Amino acid sequence: MSIDRRNIILCVLVTLAAMLVAWPFAEGGYIDDFSYIHMAQSLAETGRFAYNGWPTAMLGIQVWWGAAWIWLFGFSFTLVRLSVWPLAIGAVALVYLIARRARLTPADSLFAALLTGLSTLFLPLAPTFMTDIPGFFFLLACLYGFTRAADAADAVPAGSTHVAPWRALAWLAIGTLCGVLGGTIRQPVWLAPIACAAALCLWRFGGLSRFDRRVFRLASLLCGVIGMVALVVGTRWFSQQPYAIPTKLPALEAIAQFRAASIARDAMTVVTECALKVLPAMLFCLPWVVEHLSAGLRTRWGRITAVMTAIVMTGVLAATVSRSFEGPLGLIAGSWKPTGHALHDGGVGLIRCGVLGMIVSLSVAATVALARARSLPTAAWQLPLAVIMPLAYLVPYGASLLLVSQTTDGIYPRYYLPFLPALTCGLLYCTRSLSAAHSGAAARSAGARSAGADRRSVAGWLLVGFFALRGIAILHDEFADTRTRLEAIALLQQQGVPRDRITSKWVIDGWEQIERTGYVNDPRIRIPADAYRADVPYDYPDPKFRDQFPALRPDFMVVDEREITPGDGGDFPRFPFTAWWRPPYRRTIVIRSQQLPDRTAR
């Protein structure tokens, strides 16, 4: 068995094992997937593709995929979610394949794949019917197709009289098809064929004849046009569907009114979040960083930078613990925020100092490496297309995130997932290639070899393991909470309480609302115009969903005992479960009644 095949099997098995350890099985919703699962069920039962008033991505081929599984095996939440598992493990395998195409070693490629598969961006979503993982799979398949097309074009011998690079054209078609299909799930995937086509049109393929080069670039341009047409047509179709609530990019007039400070803050948040997610890769390259950082500290500017960084880090830690200057400091640690608890705030302060220190250290090391490589041949600088095209995709994708963040509630952490493999592969390639190039030059001149050229740090693997444990714990706690709440709801129903008289968390109640009325009562629904009901009979306990579930008129609430809610617990049993991530680790779901149901009236 080849080492690549062995590593791919290892990636798949480790990711699959991490998913199974969390035991992500429950007959209830997980984040937004209750809405998507209901769409798949409706399509399987009625043959009609219909949205249901929940803010969604486009969904497209994902709903048909889930409906096909329902047609074959019957309906259950677990079954529909299992349909995504092949795409999840396939995405991890594709990260490995793309990393190998980026000229990374098998060990580095294995690290990149497992960093992605075990990250807190990927693992908590992998066994669910959320759109992020299927969209991510098709995005990677698109990038892989374009990468193979570029490699096939480069593989043509110089001066060949080959009629046309047919293998390269076939891979272009595969990449474009995957990009178009992925865009029907999450619209930003449509940007991938456009970005990849632009990179290929600008790339010089020395092995192709002039005619073949023109054919290949014309085909690449056509792929970009197809992606652009799909983006425009698909977006227009989506906005005209009944009960659809698409996320719209702001108009040009609105963009002109955006505050530069707000966009800069969101951009800094994106940079910080990406640095946090790629932190294991930085630690993996620690020998390279230490080697070049020590060389930088021997210079005057390096020592000044070190002293200033130490002073700033001390101030950041003190300000975080005292909760001073939280506005500016909130940019440094992304979603990690102080809460007023000394131990937690100290940890947040250390995270902020670590992020700041790693960014400065990597910047100094990169400056030294680039200074060393200044006299090296240009070929040592060139990134392979397997690195360039994912990075090229991040440009329009990142811009779309910043624009959408100005008109929505912000950027959800899971939206950073496409950044992870692209930045990881780019970082690993640059540290390896610059070290190797400098080592080669030094060896030719003095017989020396870079100490960090071939070494990686186990600290990166340890942090990947920590991220994996955190992702497993988060996934476990969500599903354990849902299973326990469903158990309490089943008890009430056995005692004769109708389901519409019971409320729990919104991912469970949303399903019941759609089952009874066909859609969620959302004021953003534009088609049909009279869909939204403003006269809801009660306020939902969660103010974020105050009027979205009018089909429920609850007398009983199934809640975590820590939630401050009115009502009497009565003689109902308590439903404990064990949490893995955040204390308290022993949690209890309780039933509280506001008003006993009038059974005679029913």
Q: Which residue has the higher pLDDT, 576 or 246?
A: 576
Q: Which two tokens stand for residue 114?
A: 């497992």
pLDDT band at 52 (very low <50, low <70, confident <90, very high): very high
pLDDT band at 305 (very low <50, low <70, confident <90, very high): confident
Q: Which stretch of 356-360, 460-464, 574-578 has the lowest confidence by average pLDDT?
A: 356-360
9-20 per-position pLDDT tens digit = 999 999 999 999
Helix, coil or strand: residue 392:
helix
Q: pLDDT value at position 449?
A: 42
- Is 377's pLDDT higher than 60? no
Q: What is the DSSP string of 106-153?
A: HHHHHHHHHHHHTSTTTTTTTTS--SHHHHHHHHHHHHHHHHHHHHHH
Residue 499 CA to residue 560 CA, distance in Å, equals 19
What is the average pLDDT value for the chain, to the nearest integer? 84
Q: Which residues pair with 560 in a beta bridge?
A: 589
pLDDT of residue 240: 92
| Model pTM above 0.85 | yes
In this predicted structure, what is the pLDDT of residue 366?
78
**Cα separation values, 184 from 51, 80, 121, 131, 498, Å:** 14, 18, 21, 10, 38
Model confidence over 489-535: pLDDT tens digits? 999 999 999 998 898 888 999 999 999 999 999 888 988 988 888 77
pLDDT at 602: 39
As a whole-number percent, the residues of the chain with pLDDT over 70 amount to 83
- Indicate the domain borders of the chain: 3-256, 289-375, 475-601
Rounded to the nearest angstrom, the gap between the alpha carbon of residue 568 and the centroid of all alpha carbons in its chain is 41
500 is written with which tokens? Answer: 């519409």
pLDDT band per the 50, 70, 90 thresholds, residue 302: confident
Cβ–Cβ under 8 Å, residues 507 and 513: no
Tens of pLDDT, residues 268-287: 778 878 888 898 998 898 88
Question: How confident is the model over 37-53, as a mean pLDDT?
Answer: 94
pLDDT of the residue at 389: 94
Give the Cα separation of 573 and 491 in Å (integer): 9
pLDDT in tens, 93-146: 999 999 999 999 999 999 999 999 999 999 999 999 999 999 999 999 999 999
Q: Could you tell me the pLDDT band of residue 598, with boundaries at 50, 70 and 90?
A: very low
pLDDT score of 456: 84
In degrees, rounded to 5, the angle at the alpha carbon of residue 243 between the alpha carbons of residues 239 and 249 is 30
Average pLDDT of 287-299?
84
For residue 528, whether the previous peptide bond is cis, meaning omega lies within 30 degrees of 0, is yes
Helix axes 85-101, 419-446, angle to 10 degrees: 20
In whole angstroms, how far apart are CA 475 and each of 24, 290, 470, 472, 578? 7, 35, 9, 5, 13
Query: What is the structure's pLDDT at 190?
Result: 96
3-state DSSP assignment of residue 568: strand
> Per mean pLDDT, which range of 217-226, 293-302, 324-333 is the poorest?
324-333
Q: What is the pLDDT of residue 162?
A: 52
